[in-house]
Amino acid sequence: MGVLDHFRLDGKVAIVTGASSGLGVATAVGLAEAGAAVVVAGRRKDRLTQTVALVEQAGGKALAVPTDVSDPDACRALAAAAVEHFGRLDILVNNAGVGTAVPASRETPEEYRQVLDINLMGAYWMAQAAGKHMTDGGSIINISSVLGIVSAGMPQAAYSSAKAGLLGLTRDLAAQWTGRKGIRVNAIAPGFFPSEMTDQYPDGYYEQRIAQVPAGRAGDPMEFAATVVFLASRGAGYITGATIVVDGGATIV
């Protein structure tokens, strides 16, 4: 088997949460191009249908399962649906997330909890649900953010807390499951990529931050998807508990 063969995902089945837009869509398509069947999940059923169509255009197989990851029962149902439809589950990409930009002095308990319920606790419920179906060789990839590592000049306490929490969750699950169950658990901390969230930034903020990135540009969603494919594949078979920063150098300045 050659080096490039280690990056193929033929015969594998993946779940991608938050697959109704942005990086979730790119991830679903990238995994399909690498050979995986993909179960796409999110709260917007109509948008999931569009993602399924893109996966099928890429030559892959896909199933849409509308899911609210803040509900543990829904997470278990999603994992079970993947196994029932495709016969197995090998890869979980915890991409579902929401964000707020509320000053800490004014953020309400409901606003703070909603972000943690989806971004952090939702990832945990999904990992629990998927881990029960995975066998040796499984891969869980938690999508954190550079805002879990550094500040970005905007009040995002809930979002930053959740994304930092994902890094700790990644390390602990890797320690628990890699040796005992053969499930690798890693995280990706993306920098600035175009998304629905960046569309909501204050005027001029996005452009200002991009100008400070050493790479001189925003990320391409397929660059992000390629990192997911790598961590899901045998090419990353000796990587677990790690955080891969994909930010064009934003966290080094």
How far is Cα 52 from Cα 82, in angstroms, rounded to an integer? 14
Q: Which residues pair with 51 in a beta bridge?
A: none
Closest CA to 92 of 122, 114, 54, 52: 122
Is the four-CA dihedral 118, 199, 140, 173 of positive or negative sign?
negative
**Active-site position among 112, 159, 201, 205:** 159
How far is Cα 115 from Cα 138, in angstroms, rounded to an integer? 27
Does 159 participate in catalysis according to the annotation? yes
Under a CB-based contact definition with an 8 Å cutoff, are residues 20 and 13 in contact?
no
How far is Cα 52 from Cα 63, in angstroms, rounded to an integer? 7
Is the four-CA dihedral 23, 29, 32, 38 of positive or negative sign?
positive
The pair of structure tokens assigned to 236 is 């990353």
Give every CB contact of residue 39 below 8 A, 6+ residues apart in sequence.
13, 14, 15, 16, 62, 63, 64, 65, 78, 81, 82, 85, 86
Sheet holding 13-16, edge to edge: 62-66, 37-42, 13-16, 91-94, 139-143, 184-190, 243-246
Which residues are catalytic, by number? 159
